[in-house]
């Protein structure tokens, strides 16, 4: 269904035991938020929470704005929810990890040729030092596993939940 945004398309919907219906649907860009449920869970202890549904181009930038907002509202620790996160952009995952890891490796990639090898490392400027918990589950995959693994391997935070999907690869 390709077409110009704002134009309409007519779609026939067939449901068993019902007459077919024709719907006119207007094409529009679907904006998927890069963060969800940004909030302070417990104002007394300063526990903040946010969910990253997938790692997108804007996730690191949106996260930085959310962290400053949570900081102004009293954040003293943070829970990042990656449950159900299927992954997304490796670069976004690395940028988000770099916000919490002051130095050292985040992830290394190895390809068939030397040009495909990358070593992503953390940079100290702008590192958030709040205590960190990362929630994962069996539907956390790919870039979310890379982020979670970097947090665990660096000793920067604690992973809580169940074993992740097991992809953890870079295509």
In 10 A of CB 153, how many CB atoms? Answer: 13
Phi and psi at 109, nearest 5°, equal -115, 145
C-alpha 62/C-alpha 70 separation (Å) is: 12
- With CA atoms as reference, report the closest residue to 147 among 109, 103, 96: 96
C-alpha 40/C-alpha 15 separation (Å) is: 44
Show the tokens assigned to 138: 């069996």
In 10 A of CB 102, how many CB atoms? Answer: 15
C-alpha 67/C-alpha 62 separation (Å) is: 9
Catalytic residue IDs: 142, 153, 167
């Amino acid at each position: 269904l390709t077409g110009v945004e704002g134009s309409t398309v007519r779609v026939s919907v067939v449901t068993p035991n019902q007459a077919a219906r024709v719907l006119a649907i207007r094409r529009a860009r679907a904006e998927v938020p890069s963060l969800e449920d940004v909030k302070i869970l417990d104002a007394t202890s300063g526990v903040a929470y946010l969910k990253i549904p997938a790692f997108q181009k804007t996730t690191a930038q949106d996260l930085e704005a959310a962290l400053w907002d949570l900081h102004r509202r009293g954040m003293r620790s943070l829970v990042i929810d990656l449950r159900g996160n299927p992954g997304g952009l490796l670069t976004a995952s690395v940028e988000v990890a770099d916000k919490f890891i002051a130095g050292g490796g985040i992830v290394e990639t190895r390809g068939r040729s030397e040009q495909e090898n990358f070593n992503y490392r953390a940079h100290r400027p702008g590192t958030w030092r709040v205590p960190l918990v990362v929630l994962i589950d069996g539907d956390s995959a790919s870039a979310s596993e890379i982020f979670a693994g970097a947090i665990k391997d660096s000793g920067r935070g604690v992973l809580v939940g169940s074993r992740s999907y097991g992809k953890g690869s870079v295509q």
